[in-house]
Amino acid sequence: MPTPSSSGLHRLSNRSTTLPASRRRRPWFRRLPALPLLAGLALAWQPLAASAQTLLERPVSSGELVMVGTTDVPPLASLDAKGQPVGYAIEVARRIDAEIRAQTGGKVKLRFVPVANTGAMLEAVASGGAALACGVPFSWEREMVVDYSLPIGLSSLRLLTSNAALDGTPASLAGRRIGVVTGSLGATAIGTLQPAARAVSFDSYALAFAALRQGGLDGLLGDSNVMAGLRRSTNLSAARLLPATPYASYGVGCIVPQNNSDLENIVNLAIARLQTDYLEGKPEAVAAVDPWLGPNGVLGLSSDQIRTFFQMNLINLEPLLSSPPAAARPAP
């Protein structure tokens, strides 16, 4: 499958700055659960042991760091007509790739490897098999085994259905065939949300969505943004996202293995620059965000909604002022 590196994970910015440790902050994702959705989540992997060297400090003989992701979750990541990965998470990855190349003198770059679902993304990063994944919903249980970046967006847990008998209340799910994707927040939540629901697991959103369209499910419990993107891309306009007030709301960000502050700083810097450039109206940033999130994009958010989120996201960070490119530090 083609990768962003082979399809031109290109440098979008020549500026290079390392965030001082004093300026780093933990992600401010704020979840608003309607019920204890993630109680008892079983983790099938272990966090990386602390190491004297971070990923960027270790010699990288291949010159590559692996980024994993799914390709069936618009607007975050999907495949275009040529089989190339595209989406908001891919645009964020391009910015991160540019920062990594600048910091390492061009000796290290990202290589994209597709995986089936969020669970596989988390396992790959937590085990050290991959250095990065973007578009990952936040949970405190996941934060125990990976480190999250600044948020790149917000999303929520809702139900997608064409069944008029379902109104989105937990009671209406009893006895119904509800699809969930392995490793997703929906898969964890369904048992708490409605124990009497007939949960049907799928390895990917693509498979779950196909079953919904073919009438094999009464509804699909999952990420609102992803399901809105799938609904739009397949013209399934009759399907409704319920309830109006989501079961839970959460931040979405990138993840890196624990104890890799150098890489985490670069990821945060790339995200902050993209959002700052968007607020300044820079064409490259607007072109990277609006086709996926904007008024005429997949999600159809207003420019004011996007700007408000970016402003709130950056409010506690040191301003990124326009400046000449800084010299890249020597590669490890």
Domain boundaries along the sequence of the chain: 21-155+251-314, 157-248
Give tens-digit pLDDT for 236-252: 888 999 999 999 999 99
- Whether 43 and 145 have beta carbons less than 8 Å apart is answered as yes
Q: Please report the pLDDT score of residue 63 as a whole number.
A: 87
Q: Please report the pLDDT score of residue 46 as a whole number.
A: 32
Q: Please report the pLDDT score of residue 316 as a whole number.
A: 76
Cα(303)–Cα(319) distance, integer angstroms: 21
Q: What residue has token string 């272990």? A: 46
How would CATH label the architecture of 21-155+251-314? 3-Layer(aba) Sandwich (3.40)
Q: Please choose, from the candidates 225, 258, 248, 185, the residue with its C-alpha nearest in 3D space to the C-alpha of residue 26.
A: 258
Q: Where are the beta strands (DSSP E) in 121-271?
A: 133-137, 146-161, 177-181, 198-202, 219-223, 240-242, 248-257
Same topology, domains 21-155+251-314 and 157-248? Answer is yes
Class of domain 157-248: alpha beta
Q: Please report the pLDDT score of residue 62 as a whole number.
A: 75
Q: Please report the pLDDT score of residue 208 as a whole number.
A: 96
pTM of this prediction?
0.79
Q: Please report the pLDDT score of residue 53 as a whole number.
A: 61
Q: Please report the pLDDT score of residue 234 as a whole number.
A: 84
- Whether 254 and 152 have beta carbons less than 8 Å apart is answered as yes
CA atoms within 13 A on the CB side of 112: 28
Q: Please report the pLDDT score of residue 158 as a whole number.
A: 98
Q: Please report the pLDDT score of residue 236 as a whole number.
A: 85
Q: Please report the pLDDT score of residue 233 as a whole number.
A: 86
Ranges of the chain whose pLDDT falls below 50:
1-52, 323-332
